Amino acid sequence: MPNYVIDAPETVALPVDGTDALFPVRRVYCIGRNYAAHAIEMGHDPDREPPFFFQKNPDNLDPSGTFPYPPHSSDVHHEAEMYVALKSGGTNIPLENALECVYGYGLSFDMTRRDLQGQMKKMGRPWEIGKAFERSAPCGPVHPVSAVGHLSEGQLTMTVNGETRQEGDLNQMIWKVPEMISYLSEYFELAPGDIIQSGTPSGVGPVASGDVMVMTVDGLGSLTVTVA
């Protein structure tokens, strides 16, 4: 055992669907504006500009099914996103090899303190305060590629209290999964345990305490999260 001067932080790990095994998490990357209709609703040009990324913290991932409404915001939005879990990585990964890095896929939310994110955008400051807060990424288990294959299409639906808020299809992603892996690997060294949240379709909006959010993606089942 290393002689740590304080207790070592616990490794964040996500359940693997249908097993008692765990997927350990290293980093969390999030792609922005990856669906044209969402780019438009946020006031941006949907043209295929290079993708951009921000990060959440590994321990922002939360498979508990509960999302505590965070402090210092009165406009917390849901963004329903498929995530990609990597089993290998590297730098400058060629497009044609990118899918070989994928261990599996899952359902997640990129919960956002939209009011704080908006202030930071206006001031030209980083987004962490709006994006990378405690438990800001409620998520479901990892579904291994060995069980579900690779997902390049499939309906994504998100409801709040039974009312449809977000609808899209994975085939509407501006930057597809192999492209986001290959592009990210030009700027960062990807590694086993990395998670990529793949962006959200249009229809983002606020949640309130007591709301029940349900996200479904064809082939990945559903994820239910209650706002506490």
Binding site for Mn ion (CB under 5 A): 79, 110, 200
| Nearest to Mn ion of 192, 206 (CB atom) | 206
Closest CA to 172 of 217, 112, 108: 217
CA distances in angstroms from 189 to 12, 56, 102, 192, listed in the order given = 20, 16, 15, 10
User: What residue has token string 């990395």?
Assistant: 194
Q: Which is nearer to Mn ion, 16 or 80 (CB)?
A: 80
Residue 56: CB minimum distance to Mn ion, A:
10
Nearer to Mn ion, 17 or 79 (CB): 79
Residue number, nearest CB to Mn ion: 110
Q: Which residues contact 208 (CB under 8 A, 6 or more apart)?
A: 69, 227
Q: How far is the CB of 200 from Mn ion (least distance, A)?
A: 5
* Cβ proximity to Mn ion, 138 vs 144, nearer residue: 138
What is the smallest separation between the CB atom of 199 and Mn ion, expressed in angstroms?
A: 6
Q: How far is the CB of 113 from Mn ion (least distance, A)?
A: 13
Instruction: Output 82 or 190, the one with its CB closest to Mn ion.
Output: 82
Instruction: Determine the 3-state secondary structure of 200 from DSSP.
Output: coil
Closest approach, Cβ 130 to Mn ion, in A, equals: 11
Q: How far is CA 81 from CA 74, 125, 166, 216, 222, in A?
A: 22, 24, 10, 10, 12
Residue 79's alpha-carbon distances to 51, 157, 189, in angstroms, are 17, 11, 26
The nearest distance, CB 193 to Mn ion, in angstroms, is: 20
State which residue, 15 or 51, has the beta carbon closest to Mn ion: 51
Of the candidates 139, 148, 165, the one whose C-alpha atom is nearest the C-alpha of residue 18 is: 148
Rg value, the chain, Cα: 17
Burial per residue of 192-216, b for 16 or more beta-carbon CB atoms within 10 angstroms, e otherwise:
ebbbbbbbbbbbbebbeeebebbbb
